[in-house]
Amino acid sequence: MRIAMIGTGYVGLVSGACLSEFGHTVVCVDKVEEKIAALRAGEIPIYEPGLDEVVAANVAAGRLSFETDIRRAMQGADAVFIAVGTPSRRGDGHADLTYVYSAAEEIAAAIGRYVVVVTKSTVPVGTSREVETIIRRVNPGADFDMASNPEFLREGSAIEDFRRPDRVVVGCDGDRAREVMREVYRPLYLHETPILFTSRESAELIKYAANAFLATKITFINEMADLCEAVGADVQDVARGIGLDGRIGNKFLHAGPGFGGSCFPKDTLALRKTAQDKGAPTRIVEAVVQVNDARKLAMAGKIEKAFGGVKGKTVAILGLTFKPNTDDMRDAPSLVIVPDLQKKGATIRAFDPEGAREAHKLLNIELCKDAYDALDGADGVVILTEWNQFRALDMARVKALLRTPLMVDLRNIYNPAQMAKAGFKYVSVGRATPPAA
Ligand SMILES: NC(=O)c1ccc[n+]([C@@H]2O[C@H](COP(=O)([O-])OP(=O)(O)OC[C@H]3O[C@@H](n4cnc5c(N)ncnc54)[C@H](O)[C@@H]3O)[C@@H](O)[C@H]2O)c1
């Protein structure tokens, strides 16, 4: 099969590379010329573990190439995927569909033979029909069908998620589009991946419902963590105790500083907006948005309290990205917490293994060369993102570098009793902490 992938970001590049690995011939398109030039030169513009190898292997095999021109990319294509960004529209939280609609116009003008136009971007219910209308308006004679194929990959494990998804969701109307989409994902039949065919509206809503549910789970355990602190319970035990119940499951029950990233914040806002517009408000999702926003600021307050005020103090921050194994800083809790600490008079020394390039654009802080460098002379350390390399710090060295042995661990990666024994004032999320020995 021949596939054109419009938008070569986290989703488009991973999807395009993995579809070429399935054996399809894929052309990834982006309108940012530098991105395409970099990819043609063998450079990967984002950090995603394993992506460089998949891209290099498939470029070498002649199945994967990069283009700035949609028309050239679509020559002979059986399917064209729209994987452009759908950020929050300023003000009302609705998904901004400008990029999707402009991609639709460009695709319309380039349609020659029959093609299936697939929305892979996360888009509100009804968008696939809107894209269809645009294509028919621009190119009334175009021979095409529409499909909605939301993407569920997680940054940080995107390659594995694409190769072995829990399910593939495809919304489409007719047999012709269904057969093309079946062929696109045929290699996954080997793993017996369930392929769920639905209406386009259902497919679009499945994506938002999935993200809203996961965001709700995180927010629920975060509120339980606050309650644990108030009543002297341990949120790790509570999470394990409820997570072992098969009806609940143990995933997404890690208390922390609130969810961030390129999906949950904007997708919960967009779902809330759609639901309000349609007169079917999602009160749970509304509460999730509100509680999660408040939590990020509350975490800055927690840090301030642990430090006994931050005015004139140096706070070492480990981890700035919204989660480990990515360089993505979109809506990361650090973007709220760090400026708030600065506003209260703190100086920040920070280290992130992959996020420094993005963080440099978004935060006015000193970025250090490694974790120990960030700790040097600080009044205490805050763990904001649970990168593996922060999980086994040399505590003797940490203690020697800090002016006071204080750790605020917003990801609960250390053991409170051991930290107390090592002589730290240790503050975590939702866990009782013994005083330092
Ligand atoms: N990032 C994730 O983990 C994830 C997971 C599932 C779904 N999604 C969804 O996938 C979509 C894409 O997300 P992303 O994180 O990959 O975004 P991104 O911002 O990383 O990439 C989007 C790319 O599209 C390009 N683009 C925009 N308009 C274009 C056009 N007309 N022609 C060619 N290229 C164009 C941009 O230059 C950019 O490189 C969003 O709807 C998002 O919600 C993202």
| 132 in Cβ contact with 105 (< 8 Å) | no
Residue pLDDT, tens place only, 106-144: 999 999 999 999 999 999 999 999 999 999 999 999 999
Closest residue CA from atom 21 of ligand 1: 9
Give the pLDDT confidence of 162-209 residue by residue, as tens digits: 999 999 999 999 999 999 999 999 999 878 899 999 999 999 999 999
Q: Which two tokens stand for residue 324?
A: 């480990």
Residue range 213-241: mean pLDDT, rounded: 97
Which strands sit side by side in the sheet containing 380-383, from one edge to the other?
A: 366-367, 347-351, 314-318, 380-383, 406-409, 425-427
Rounded mean pLDDT, 73-77: 98
The separation between CA 267 and the C-alpha centre of its own chain, rounded to angstroms, equals: 11
Among 5, 29, 30, 155, which residue has the most ligand 1 atoms within 8 Å of its CB, making it the best to mutate?
30
Give the SS3 label for residue 124.
coil
Q: Is the CB of 127 under 6 A from ligand 1?
A: no
Question: Hey, which residues does 204 pair with through a beta bridge?
Answer: none
DSSP string, 225-292: HHHHHHHT--HHHHHHHHHTSTTT-STT----S---SSSHHHHHHHHHHHHHHTT---HHHHHHHHHH
- Please give the backbone phi and psi of residue 262, each rounded to the nearest 5 degrees, phi first: -85, -5
Rounded CA separation 210/249 (Å): 15
* Predicted local confidence at residue 110, as pLDDT: 97
Question: Angle CA(259)–CA(261)–CA(264) in degrees, nearest 5?
Answer: 65
Confidence of residue 19 (pLDDT cuts 50, 70, 90): very high
For residue 4, report the distance from its CA to the centre of ligand 1, in Å: 14
Q: Which of 28, 228, 263, 368 is catalytic?
A: 263
- Cβ-based neighbours of 215, under 8 Å, separated by 6 or more: 259, 264, 267, 268, 285, 288, 292
Residue 255 pLDDT grade (very low, low, confident, very high; cuts 50, 70, 90): very high
The Å distance, Cα 211 to ligand 1 centre, comes to 17
Q: Is 168 within 8 Å of 187 (Cβ atoms)?
A: no
Q: For 246-265, what is the mean pLDDT? A: 97
For ligand 1, the distance from its centroid to the CA atom of residue 9, given in whole angstroms, is 5
Cut 0.75: pTM above it: yes
CA–centroid distance, residue 201 to ligand 1 (Å): 20
CA of residue 7 to ligand 1 center, whole Å: 6
Q: Which atom of ligand 1 is nearest to the CA of 123?
A: 41
Please tell me the predicted confidence (pLDDT) of residue 139: 98
Cβ of residue 29 lying under 6 Å from some atom of ligand 1: yes
Residue 86 CA, closest ligand 1 atom number: 41
- Mean pLDDT confidence for 336-355: 98
Nearest CA to ligand 1 atom 17: 85
Q: Which of 33, 68, 84, when mutated, tests ligand 1's pocket best, judged by the most ligand atoms within 8 Å of its CB?
A: 84
* Model pLDDT, residue 91: 83
172 is catalytic: no
- Provide the token pair at 231: 């009543």
| Structural element, H or E, at residue 134 | helix 127-138
Ligand 1 pocket check for 85: Cβ under 6 Å: yes
Max Cα-Cα span within the chain: 78
Can you give the pLDDT at residue 190?
Answer: 79
Confidence of residue 435 (pLDDT cuts 50, 70, 90): confident
Cβ(6) to ligand 1 under 6 A?
Answer: yes
Answer with the residue of higher pLDDT: 435 or 429.
429
DSSP per position, 174-198: SHHHHHHHHHHTGGGGGGT--EEEE
Q: What is the predicted pLDDT for the residue at 436? A: 81
Query: From the alpha carbon of 103, which atom of ligand 1 is closest?
Result: 31
DSSP 435: P
Cα separations (Å) of 434 from 287, 422, 425, 426? 33, 11, 9, 8
Cβ of 398 below 6 Å from ligand 1: no
pLDDT of residue 68: 98
pLDDT of residue 329: 96
φ/ψ (deg, to 5) at 170: -130, 120
CA of 133 to the centre of ligand 1 (A): 22
For the CA of 12, the closest atom of ligand 1 is 16
Per the prediction, the chain carries an average pLDDT of 97
Average pLDDT over residues 83-109: 95
Closest residue by Cα to residue 317 from 293, 346, 290? 346
- Centre of ligand 1 to C-alpha 123, Å, is 11
Ligand 1 neighbourhood includes 98 CB (under 6 angstroms)? no
Give the nearest ligand 1 atom to 99 CA: 28
**In this model, does residue 6 exceed pLDDT 90?**
yes
Q: What does the pLDDT average to over 208-230?
A: 98
pLDDT average, residue stretch 287-298:
98
DSSP state of 6: E
Return d(Cα 430, Cα 222) in angstroms, integer.
8
- Order of strands across the sheet that contains 144-148: 64-67, 25-29, 2-6, 79-82, 115-119, 144-148, 168-172, 195-198
